[in-house]
Amino acid sequence: MLLTAQTLLTGRESLQPGWIEVSGTRVRALGAGMPPRPADRDLHTVAPGFVDTHSHGGGGSDFSAATRADTVAATDLHRRHGTTSLVASLVSAGPADLLHQVEVLAGQVRDGLIAGVHLEGPWLAVQRCGAHDPVLLRDPDPGELETVLRASGGTIRMVTLAPERNGGVAAIERIVAAGAVAAVGHTEATYEQTRAAIDAGATVGTHLFNAMRSIHHREPGPVIALLEDPQVTVELIADGVHIDAALYRHVTRAAGPDRLSLITDAMAATGAGDGRYRIGRMDVEVAGGVASLAGTATIAGSTATMDRVFRFAVAHSGLPRDEALLVAVRQSSMNPARALGLPSPELAVGARADLVVLDADLAVVDVLHDGTWVPR
């Protein structure tokens, strides 16, 4: 199959026009200008498939339910919106429930349904619990952490924790030693405590600004510590709800082109409409596409898909469109994959054939996953 495009974004460069040939599940060839033979399809824009490293569900389903049916429903919804690699995020749970969820999702990673597991909690700050049940939050226990890591069989890609909790820094060291990524989030940590976490091996800031101590001119807090360290990748939920466009532009400049990952933080309501849902044990109300804990103004994840945050990034970057597209591709595909040690989504000879087809307005037209068109 040979595809031509007015713009082919490989992840490293923009080919205008460009062409890409797929054979089976792999990219066979690609280039700029005229293709070697007539194309099977002529498209507007082609980009690498999106990589979402922080999503709790979608399509009415929650990854915490830990059933194959729920995972299939959520991944199918996100795949139709261009996400070809997805890490399933779990909210805080009791020890037995957490272990069960990890064991089930680990099997789904091995089956290739999802790209990995992200533990967002339960080792978080009560003051910054967000949509996590504060009753379930606790200090990291070495025995529990060891049991969960062992049960995952290496499928846990990231663990978000509050480093100021008792044993937090030691937990970061153990997580990194196990081959997973330690992330700082849902935290009241000071600047110095965050620096200690980074020195211990933390390399991701979970949804920067949200659910963490704010910047103060005499106590910079975690935001500044995470932004200024060149080894740290910071997440942003660029859905137009969690952060202002000015902050997206500021973080893009401050972190540079390779240290910002766009995420959805999607929950079950994504793609399923307004109504009442659950995230973990917490009741959530969704109105106007905004998810909040029932009866409160506390944001409870998002209803965004990766194509939506991609469009937000391009529209609000303040850059010329061609440059904005290149930056947004890095932030929505290349950077998330690299931060969590996932296979590169770059469109290159020999790479897995995962790509998203976009129209002039950057709406998803088609998605190719593992060399096969995703049913629309």
**Which active-site residues does the annotation give?**
265
Contact status, residue 336 vs residue 112, Cβ threshold 8 Å: no
242 is in an annotated binding site: yes
335 is in an annotated binding site: no
Largest Cα–Cα distance in the chain? 63
CB-CB neighbours of 12 under 10 Å:
14
Q: Is 47 exposed, middle or buried (0-12, 13-18, 19+ CB in 10 A)?
A: buried
DSSP assignment of 106-120 equals: HHHHHTTSSSEEEEE
CB-CB neighbours of 244 under 10 Å:
12
Joined together, the tokens standing for residue 104 give: 């089930």
218 is in an annotated binding site: yes
Contact status, residue 337 vs residue 87, Cβ threshold 8 Å: no
Joined together, the tokens standing for residue 294 give: 């029932």
Buried (b) or exposed (e) across 333-364, using 16+ Cβ within 10 A?
bbbbbbbbebebbbbeeebbbbbbbbeeebeb
280 is in an annotated binding site: no
300 is in an annotated binding site: yes
131 is in an annotated binding site: yes
Joined together, the tokens standing for residue 374 give: 């995703």
114 is in an annotated binding site: no
279 is in an annotated binding site: no
Element (H, E) at 61: strand 61-62
Closest CA to 1 of 33, 44, 36, 39: 39
186 is in an annotated binding site: yes
User: Which DSSP symbol is given to 158?
Assistant: E
- Give whole-number Cα distances, 16 to 8, 45, 79, 350, in Å: 6, 9, 26, 21
Residue 41 contacts by C-beta under 8 Å, 6 or more apart in sequence? 1, 3, 4
120 is in an annotated binding site: yes
- Please give the Cα distance from 201 to 188 (Å, whole number): 19
39 is in an annotated binding site: no
End-to-end CA distance of the chain: 19
Q: Which residue is associated with the tokens 């429903």? A: 73
**Which residue ranges are tagged as binding site?**
120, 131, 186, 207, 210-211, 218, 242, 299-301
Binding annotation for Zn(2+): 120, 186, 207
Feature table: binding site for substrate: 131, 210-211, 218, 242, 299-301
